[in-house]
Structure 1
C-alpha cells in the first residue's frame, strides 16, 4: 500500500494500489475482518472472518477488555485464512453520533492553469474549514468544483480560470467514543490508518454507478445502530445515525415473551418476519422461558404475535429514518431508491416494510463480488467490510485519514525554525 497514487478529483476512481489491504468493521453484534491483495487493476480477497462482538453498545465501546478480545479473535481467524499477518487496518465508525459537516473554499488563480498543486492547496483549505466544535472529522471529500462561473465541474485539472472553488462534505463524531474505538483496535497491536463512516463504506460496495449519480439512500441496519448515507451525483452528501438496530428487536421479543436473549435471537432468526403477510399464517412457535428448563416449560404462541412484536419496532426505526431524511431535505432530493444493508435487514418482509414506510423503491444491497470472496461472505452483513477494503485499495491517504492533510497544511504554515525546533523536541 506504499505506492503513490495520482491525486483523485471528484468521482474519478484511480487504479488499485499494489499491496496488502485490511478492513475491520467493528459493530455492536458482530466484527468482520477482511484481508485483500491489491494488484494492478484487480483486488483479491485472501481471507475473511465474522465473529460475535462483545463489549459494545450502540456502536460504542462499553468494555475495552471484551472488545479487544473479540477483535483479536476475528483478526486472528482472518489472518489464518489469508496466511498473512497484518499491521495496518481501515476501520468503520458508527459511534459518536455522526453528523454531516460542509465547507467551501475559493482560490484566485488570475488566469493560470490549474495544477495538482493548486488542487491540493484548495482541498487542504476546504478540509481545514470543515470542522464542528466538540467533534472530530473522520472523513472528508470534495463534492463539486466551480471554475469561474461554471458549476459542477468534475475535473478542473488542466483548465484555465480566474477563480476556482470547491465544496466539501465531511463526517464528524464526538471524539471520546472514536478514541475508545481506536484504542480497542490498537491494543490488538494494529495501526489504524484510516476511518470511514460505516454506511458510506456499505454504499461503496453495494451501489451501482447510476444509483450514486442519480441518488440513493443507504440504510445500514446493524445490531445497535441504523446508519444513513445519502449519495447524490457520485458523492456522499448526508450522514446520520438512528441509535436503534436489530438488538432492539431482540430485546423487545425477550421482554414481551419473558425469554432469554439467546432464545429471543434464535426465535427472531428462525421464525421472525417484518410483516403479517410473511408470518406463516396460523403457525405456532415455542419460545424458551427465563429460569425454566425443558420443552414443557416453553411458551407456545402464534407466529403472528411474534411478527407483531418485530413489526412494531421496525416501523419505529424506519419512521425515525424518514423523519431524519425529511429534516435534512434529502428525502426527495436523493430520489426514490433506497438500499438496505447490514445483518438486521435480512428478516423476511423487511424490504417490503421499508418500501411502505419510506415511500421508496427498496432493494437489499449485497457487496460486489471479488476473487477469493466466499459465497457465505457475500451477504449484506459483509457490505461495510468489503466497502472498507475497496476504499483502502483505491483512495488516496488524505481521504482515508483527514489528519494527514491537516498535518501537512499546518507544517507548511510553520516557519523553518518552528519545524526544526519541533523535530528536535
Structure 2
C-alpha cells in the first residue's frame, strides 16, 4: 500500500488549508469557520498566489520549479494569516484521473441498514478496483436500491433483504500522486487529502437545486478545461480536454508576433469573443517579439485580436461539447451549464457558449467564502474554494451533503503511515 499521507491530521484551531495547483497559477488559501455567520461560511485569513511553474496538464515537469511556486504561495498565505500550516488539501487535474461506475450489493437478511453496511458497500467498491499503477481518490455513492426499490439516496434506518449501491470511483495514476505528495512534503507540509479539481469547483459554486436537477460545470483553466456532471445530488461524470486559457495566449503571441507576457496583457486588456463595428477602426499597440529593450511596437486592428481569440474559444467549446456528447451527458444533465475558472472571465465567452451549445449558461462564483481579497469572489478561486469546503466537510464529518465520501482507503493509509513511523 502506498503511503501518501505521512502523519495523522494535526489540524489546529479549526483552520483549513488548500493548495490549488493549476496550469497558470498556484493558490494557497488558509481559512477558518466564520463564527459570526450562520451555516458553513469560511473566512479567508491567509492567501497567496504565484505563477505556476514546473507543471503542465497536471503532470510535474520540473520538481524544483513547482516546489518554489508552492513555497512562495504558502509563505505569502502564512504571512497574511500570521500563522504556520502543517497540512493541506490538494487538487488533482481531471486530465490525470479516470472515473467509472460500479454496482455492488450485500445481503441484509432483514437487518436495519446502518453506517456499517454503507461502509461495507464502499469497501466492495474499492475491492472491485484492481490496478497496481493507480490509486482511488473518491468513492462517491450515486444511488442505492433496496430490494426492488430504486433511487434511494440515504438508506440508513431502512430494512430489507439486500441493498445495491451504484458507486462512482475516481482514480489517478499512483506515481503522479506520489510525486505531488513528495513535492508538498519538500515544502514541509503533509497532504490531508486529494480532490479532483472539477468536483472541488462543484462544491464551491453550485446550488442545491442545480445539484438535484442536474448540472454540468465547465472549469476553463489555464492548460486544460475540466468537465463535471452532477445529477440527483451526486457527481456522475468527470472529463477534460487539453485546451485552456494559455492556448489562447499562445495563439495571440504567434498571431501578433509578440512575447507571451505581452500576449497575456493584450488578452486581459482588450480580449473578447464579441466583434464590434468599431473593431476595424480601433487599433492597439503590440510590442514585437525579439526587439528586447528597443520596445518597437506595431499597430494592429482590434478585430484581428478578437478573431484570434474567438477562433480558439470556438474550438475549445466545440471540443467540450463533443466530449459531452460522447459520454451521453449532453442529454442527461446538460440543460443547465455553469462556466467557471479563470477562462470564464473572458468577455463574451458566456454568450459564445450559449450560441454554440444552444443552452442557457451562467458564470459560477464561489459561495460561502468571505475575506482575503477580491480574488476570493471570482471564478478563478472556484477550485481553491471547493478544496476548503471539502476540508470543512471532511472535518465535521458531514455526510448529508452532495456525494458523501466514505474514504476508508485514505483513513487506512493514514493509520498505516503512523504505524510505520512510530513502530
What's the TM-score bracket when you normalise by the shorter of the two chains? 0.7 to 0.9
> Any idea what the Cα deviations from partners look like across 1:344-388, whole Å, max 9, x if unmatched?
221110111111222221111100043434333210010100111
The ranges of structure 1 where at least 4 consecutive aligned residues each deviate by more than 6 angstroms after the TM superposition are: 421-425
1:364 alignment partner in structure 2: 363
Structure 1 pair 296–93 and aligned structure 2 pair: CA distance change class (3 A): closer
Structure 1 pair 55–158 and aligned structure 2 pair: CA distance change class (3 A): same
TM-score w.r.t. the length of structure 1 is 0.87
Task: Determine the C-alpha separation between the residues in 2 that align with 1:389 and 1:422.
Answer: 29
2:267 alignment partner in structure 1: 268
Contact 2:338 2:362 in 1 (8 A): yes
Contact 1:258 1:289 in 2 (8 A): yes
Q: CA deviation at 1:246?
A: 0.6
2:61 alignment partner in structure 1: 62
Structure 1 pair 226–46 and aligned structure 2 pair: CA distance change class (3 A): same
Task: Determine the C-alpha separation between the residues in 2 that align with 1:126 and 1:278.
Answer: 58
Q: CA deviation at 1:335?
A: 3.2
2:71 alignment partner in structure 1: 72
2:19 alignment partner in structure 1: 24
- The aligned runs of 1:294-333 (5 Å cut-off) are 297-333=296-332
> Any idea what the Cα deviations from partners look like across 1:274-298, whole Å, max 9, x if unmatched?
2324985531111111111578721
Q: CA deviation at 1:179?
A: 2.6
Q: CA deviation at 1:401?
A: 5.3
Task: Determine the C-alpha separation between the residues in 2 that align with 1:323 and 1:403.
Answer: 34
Task: Determine the C-alpha separation between the residues in 2 that align with 1:407 and 1:67.
Answer: 25
Q: How much is the aligned-residue C-alpha RMSD, in angstroms?
A: 2.7
2:28 alignment partner in structure 1: 33
- The aligned runs of 1:134-283 (5 Å cut-off) are 134-277=133-276, 280=279, 282-283=281-282
Task: Determine the C-alpha separation between the residues in 2 that align with 1:368 and 1:422.
Answer: 40
Task: Determine the C-alpha separation between the residues in 1 that align with 2:407 and 2:106.
Answer: 24
2:126 alignment partner in structure 1: 127
Q: CA deviation at 1:96?
A: 5.3
Contact 2:94 2:198 in 1 (8 A): no
- Counterpart secondary structure, 1:193: strand
Q: CA deviation at 1:332?
A: 1.3
> Any idea what the Cα deviations from partners look like across 1:61-98, whole Å, max 9, x if unmatched?
11111100000000111111112211111111106532
Task: Determine the C-alpha separation between the residues in 2 that align with 1:120 and 1:381.
Answer: 35
2:112 alignment partner in structure 1: 113
Task: Determine the C-alpha separation between the residues in 2 that align with 1:337 and 1:343.
Answer: 20
1:399 alignment partner in structure 2: 405
Contact 1:137 1:402 in 2 (8 A): no
Task: Determine the C-alpha separation between the residues in 2 that align with 1:326 and 1:53.
Answer: 32
- Counterpart secondary structure, 1:399: coil
- Counterpart secondary structure, 2:355: helix
Q: CA deviation at 1:154?
A: 1.6
Task: Determine the C-alpha separation between the residues in 2 that align with 1:121 and 1:401.
Answer: 12
TM-score w.r.t. the length of structure 2 is 0.88
- Counterpart secondary structure, 1:338: strand
Task: Determine the C-alpha separation between the residues in 2 that align with 1:168 and 1:27.
Answer: 28
Task: Determine the C-alpha separation between the residues in 1 that align with 2:61 and 2:209.
Answer: 40
Task: Determine the C-alpha separation between the residues in 2 that align with 1:74 and 1:400.
Answer: 31
Shifted more, 87-96 versus 375-384: the winner is 87-96
1:388 pairs with 2:378: no
- Counterpart secondary structure, 2:96: coil
Structure 2: gaps (5+ residues): 1-7, 399-403
Contact 2:272 2:309 in 1 (8 A): yes
- Counterpart secondary structure, 1:312: helix
Q: CA deviation at 1:402?
A: 5.7
Contact 2:122 2:406 in 1 (8 A): no
